[in-house]
Amino acid sequence: MTELIPAPRAVTAAPGEVRLTARSRLHAGPGAEGVGRWLRTVLGQATGLPLREGREPDGTDATDGTDGIALQVDGRLGPEEYRLVSDARGVLVEGGDAAGVFWGAQTLRQLLGPDAHRRAPVRRDRIWAVPHLTIEDAPRFRWRGLMLDVARHFMPKDGVLRYLDLMAAHKLNVFHFHLTDDQGWRIEIRRHPRLTEVGAWRARTKFGHRASPLWDEKPHGGHYTQDDIREIVAYAAERHITVVPEIDVPGHSQAAIAAYPELGNTDVIDTTALSVWDTWGVNPNVLAPTDNTLRFYEEVFEEVLDLFPSEFVHIGGDECPKEQWRSSPAVQARIAELGLADEDALQSWFVRHFDTWLSARGRRLIGWDEILEGGLADGAAVSSWRGYAGGTAAARAGHDVVMCPEQHVYLDHRQDGGPDEPVPIGWVRTLEDVYRFEPVPPELTPAQAAHVIGTQANVWTEAMEDAARVDYQVFPRLAAFAEVAWSALPAPAERDFADFERRTVAHYARLDALGVAYRPPGGPRPWQRRPGVLGRPIGGPPPHR
């Protein structure tokens, strides 16, 4: 059972195996106690084995036997690095920190076979064995992310917790939580309760692409209470995942304006007539650049910072149409008052305001690559989605970058060109296409490339109405992406996709055990299709850059 995903740096096999039995012990040393609790829980559920504490009453280490598991931190290893040794003495997982121990424990779980990912034993007579081997491993990038859009289609809390488990199983460590947009506001803000009372619900929903004539004529929505958020953040932290919240400004804000009309450009349109948007696309209703709007969002961010301890806070900053600003006498007066050149400079001013505000509180702003337009504050980082150009420019200017180009790692894009793909969006991005994605542009110098702190796959849910649709679009491509983010792979053309495909066969069994409704290699199952629902397929190969 060495068909590991993502592929480790080095594996040395040896004859023999360690068998876990009812007398096997598990001991977690100092700094690894949380990993020990997690591993004892998940393996106990799957195997039915008690995996009692590995210390004998006299204080000696029972894992010196032949069937124990020991977890320990070894400061000689690097951050997130681990070493797993299975031999005649048992299984030892060492990590440079608790995260490294955790990733090693995830590898151990894969070595035990697909049924180790279940929540209860399926065979009481099952033999649980780990082959004798040594694995040495460490991640390529420190930001290995998944962005999940819960604004377009709400995912209840239990679904979010499930996705954190799926991320952890693939050694992904950043959950970019897209919480607000035109179609819904998903996080409780106690000082501004109408954000969820009004902004969390829309009257109906477009089914398919925005050009589709089909509608789901029932209200859609939901939100997370602050305690829900605390639970999600704590659950993620136990799995060594950082949650980065996204609160969109100044575009993608109609849900907020519907709740508080004074946030919009009231001298251009009747903002009191706006409701939470029920269709898709780029919305013209953007925030007004008033002092009131700034104070309102500062109060929002104050509560957000209290809930999310992450270094980075995402402010969106993308797709902000300027038509209302150009037509608004109040906005034009504001531009003149601030001494700005134009509306693009006004958006930059908006972004810089929150960059300064976040920096003063020990946090860092990150936004989509449009925040580069008009100049960017020194400490801000960029999520490069419109190809590589934004990320390349940002890295050259000394800004940290997360590479997530639409044409490579937007998992809402279709997986095949066949007629059975459900609600086909964008370019065809096969499993192999994702596997051959390279996050670091070759034109960057080594010093510039160091600013590419990682990569993430993005999941926009306009055409994903439930968890099964999300699963279909995300898997198995997320497994390929995880290997790109974790493993030290050769250049894209030289990658051994045949080997990855071979290992994916074993990985499908793990996904089955985890209950993932992935896209089968032969195409969608009948219940995964959406015949007659209009998408937006783009023909031909996507632009490389």
Active site (catalytic) residues: 181, 252, 319
Q: To which residue do tokens 């929903």 refer?
A: 205
DSSP state letter for 240? T
74-80 long-range contacts (CB < 8 A, ≥24 apart) are 77/138, 78/138, 79/142, 80/138, 80/139, 80/142, 80/173
Residues 6+ apart with CB under 8 A from 184: 150, 151, 152, 154, 199, 200, 201, 202, 220, 221, 223, 255, 276
Spatial distance between the Cα atoms of 312 and 379, rounded to a whole number of angstroms:
11
CA atoms within 13 A of residue 118's CA, in its CB half-sphere: 14
User: Quick count: other Cβ atoms within 10 Å of Cβ 413?
Assistant: 25
Residues 6+ apart with CB under 8 A from 382: 366, 367, 368, 369, 371, 372, 376, 390, 391, 394, 399, 400, 401, 402
Of all helices (H) and strands (E), which one includes residue 38?
helix 33-47
Please compute Rg for the chain using Cα positions. 24
Spatial distance between the Cα atoms of 119 and 160, rounded to a whole number of angstroms:
17
| Rounded alpha-carbon distances, angstroms, from residue 257 to 177, 230, 333 | 21, 26, 21
Helix (H, G, I), strand (E, B) or coil at 538: coil
DSSP state letter for 358? H
Rounded to 5 degrees, what angle do the CA atoms 370, 374, 376 make?
75
Residue 319: both structure tokens together: 């797709």
Spatial distance between the Cα atoms of 47 and 35, rounded to a whole number of angstroms:
17
> Residues 298, 160: contact at Cβ < 8 Å?
no
Residue ranges of alpha helices (H) inside 291-443 are 291-307, 323-327, 329-338, 343-359, 389-396, 406-409, 431-435
